[in-house]
Amino acid sequence: MLNKLRTWSLSQPLFLPIAGLALAILAVDLSSYLAWSFVAIAVLLAALSARKILFLTILAAISGGLLHHSQLQTQRESKLLKNQEVEVFGVIDSPPRVSDNLPTEALVKILQGPDALVGTRISATIPENVLVHVGEKIWLKGQIRFPKRPMNPRVFDEAEFLHRKGISVTLRAESVSNTHEIASTHRLDVFAESSRQWIRRKLTSGIEGTDAAQVILAMFLGEKPASDGEIMADFRNSGTIHVFAVSGLHVMMIGLIFAITLKLCGVSSRVWIPCVIGIMFFYAIVTGMRPPAMRASIMGAIVLVAVLLLRKPSLPNCLWLSGIIALLWNTHSLFLPGFQLSYAVLIAIAYTGNWWMNRYQWLNYIDPFFPRSLLSKKQKAWLEVRQKSSDTLAVSTSAWLGSSFLIWLYFGLITPLAIIASLPLMFIVFILLGTCCLSLTVGSISPSLGKSINKCNALTADSAHWFSHFFASIPNTRYHAKPWSTGERVVIYHVSKGGGGIYLSLGGGILLDAGNNSQFKREVWPSLSKNGARIDTLIASHPDINHVQGLSQALAEFPIKQMIIPHGNSRSTSYTDLIRAAEKKGISIITSAEATFPVTDGISLELIYTPLDLQPLADDRCLIFMLHWHGKRILFLSDSGHHLTHWIRQREHDEDLEKLAPDILVLGKHKLDTSLHPDIIELLAPKVIIATNTYFPPDQSRSASWIHSVNKLGIKLYLLNQSGAVTITQEENNFQFKTILEYEP
């Protein structure tokens, strides 16, 4: 056994060093003794192999551990500046992310400023009227903050995303001073960005604004179309979304295209090999230096140099060497999905590819005793097609198996059909990349001819989209993680800026408010879609943009059957647009009237308060609902204010008031009122209050007084700005509460 292990490790001398490196990084990051024990096992196995392997393993483990510890320590020190006003001088480290009417977001490397920040990178929010470029030196003044934490289930985790980029704090810039000077250390970044812009213009010349242009830019530059668009949905559901991420496949295809071209031109290997290596690295740099692309460039360079030196390259050794270089360059890469997927796919291909080729040999079977010379040209061509298809199918199967677990873990999706769907898509991607290279070459000489090539390439892009749409439309070929497709729950979302959104996973599913468009996209929709929420009923509590505008988008995403709305007489364009959209889709619209809506057995939603439509403020026209849930009651007040208070006081001595007494009271925040007065809360006598807005009340001293009064009544109080979204379930007729953040009411 030891001899076999020794023989195997000698054939792949870099496996144990990269294992020791990765495990040391993991041990430092998790502060885990278990991970350190695995590091020790890797060192012990190296000691049983050879001295050089032992030396490399120890060196890699120590280097990885020290580098990652230093990185984490630097990030921890920068956190000590939270809420401090600072003035820093830095350089824009990556292309800024610009959005219409929103502040510009950019990563900045700090050159001067507080000692804890010098040499680190921060995420800076720059006013939208200030134009900045990658590599530009800039003065920033503002407040240091922590990145936003996810406040709703399965939404984008900005803090974790930035942490893995080596960033722990953000800066909201209040004043900016441009120097219009480019840092010498970022000349390559400036060149890459200008090249990317030039390539973008050349590839879309003559086809601007079309879906084909989006597909071309996605496949060649990795610029994904709108995530909620039809294009992304088709490629995602067909399991071929990986063609939109510039990966090792793209880099190797680009290298292959230029290698074939140069060899056909009669260029010697001493010339074309260095040229191809340079082209691969250029392509990887221009497309953003993504880990898979850089890995492929390193591996490709190693293989080509081995060919040039007349040495037989080893795919596993090339893979381990590229991994060591990538992890020493950025230790956080180990935790990035792109890095993990890239290496998982290559490892699967390296170790299972031959096995799968043997399994698919029946596709290209030919009698071994049949003389190949007797085959006609047509038969030889058909045999070649079958052999290529067999090999491609084997690689596709290995890649899918290598990536499927991670895709399920990160994205909750498995698409076995991707094994088949990838076959035509890979061929189309190769043709598209080749045509893009032709367009860039010819278009630089003759723009008009370049436009013609782009129009031909648009047909290729359209065919790729057609194939993805075809495979995506085949039923029962993908499996989503849909934890909310079954079971009963109520989710009270944390929606910023006074918005509201509540999901009732009861019956066919109900969405009560959904924030505005931006809030819906960032805070509500990702959670609903990733959890597989079912919704057939929408409710607009009142005509406020931060409550109803997102419902218009929900109409397009879910098979809505009915919608309950408050009284008319609203000047809110968001509200009127919602009604028009519902009418256009033929959705049943129920105008508010006190009634009980059955949901399912033991569950009903009762509309208990319908205010007058003459009130000037939308907040004064809130519908009030009581959820009857297996003998328990939840009262949704939305943003109701003093008019509701007056209505309740009129019934203070009325026996009907007991019908309003809920187990849980869900509060919003009226635009003018401070909060629901503690006296009214005492009348309603809830056991739990969930406050859906941050400011309760806005004044800190009054807020503390209000919270104290509520706590004095013995009521458990959840404040969503501190707890994040609250998910309510029932177990044995008792409510269970789950919060996003650690929180004790």
| DSSP letter for each residue of 431-498 | HHHHHHHHHHHHHHH-HHHHHHHHHHHHHHHHHHHHHHHHHHTSTT--EE--TTSSS-EEEE---STT
| Helix-helix angle 418-445:211-221, to 10 degrees | 90
Question: What single letter denotes the amino acid at residue 743?
Answer: Y
Q: Is 709 exposed, middle or buried (0-12, 13-18, 19+ CB in 10 A)?
A: middle
Task: Report cis status (omega within 30 of 0) of the bond before 697.
Answer: yes
| Cβ–Cβ < 8 Å for 627, 633 | yes
Strand segments, DSSP code E, in 193-313 are: none
DSSP state of 375: S
The pLDDT value given to residue 228: 61
pLDDT under 50: residue ranges of the chain:
none
- CATH 2.40.50.140 residue spans of the chain: 80-182
The pLDDT tens digits of the residues spanning 558-571 come to 999 999 988 766 67
The Cα–Cα gap between 342 and 348 comes to 10
The pLDDT value given to residue 12: 82
Closest CA to 329 of 379, 389, 396, 284: 284
Q: Is 719 exposed, middle or buried (0-12, 13-18, 19+ CB in 10 A)?
A: buried
Q: What is the CATH number of domain 489-739?
A: 3.60.15.10
Spatial CB neighbours of 689, under 8 Å, sequence gap ≥ 6: 664, 665, 666, 667, 681, 710, 715, 716, 717, 718
- Buried/exposed 517-543: b ≥16 CB within 10 Å, e otherwise: ebbbebbbbbbbbbbebbbebbbbbbb
Task: Tell how strand 97-99 and strand 588-591 pair up.
Answer: unpaired
The pLDDT value given to residue 703: 66
Instruction: Domain 80-182: state its class.
Output: mainly beta
β-pair partners for 178: 138
The Cα–Cα gap between 41 and 374 comes to 58
The pLDDT value given to residue 687: 93
| Cβ–Cβ < 8 Å for 449, 442 | yes
The pLDDT value given to residue 675: 65
- Buried/exposed 320-348: b ≥16 CB within 10 Å, e otherwise: bbbbbebbeebbbbbebeebbbbbbbbbb
The Cα–Cα gap between 268 and 273 comes to 8
> How many C-beta atoms surround the C-beta of residue 725 within 10 A?
28
- CATH 3.60.15.10 residue spans of the chain: 489-739
3-state secondary structure of 518: helix
The pLDDT value given to residue 653: 67
The pLDDT value given to residue 701: 62
The encoded tokens of residue 421 equal: 């769907």
The encoded tokens of residue 379 equal: 């038969």
| Cβ–Cβ < 8 Å for 294, 338 | no
Closest CA to 444 of 213, 202, 194, 275: 202
The pLDDT value given to residue 492: 96
The encoded tokens of residue 136 equal: 């530009």
The pLDDT tens digits of the residues spanning 650-686 come to 776 666 666 778 999 998 877 666 667 788 888 888 9
The Cα–Cα gap between 735 and 229 comes to 38
| Cβ–Cβ < 8 Å for 152, 493 | yes
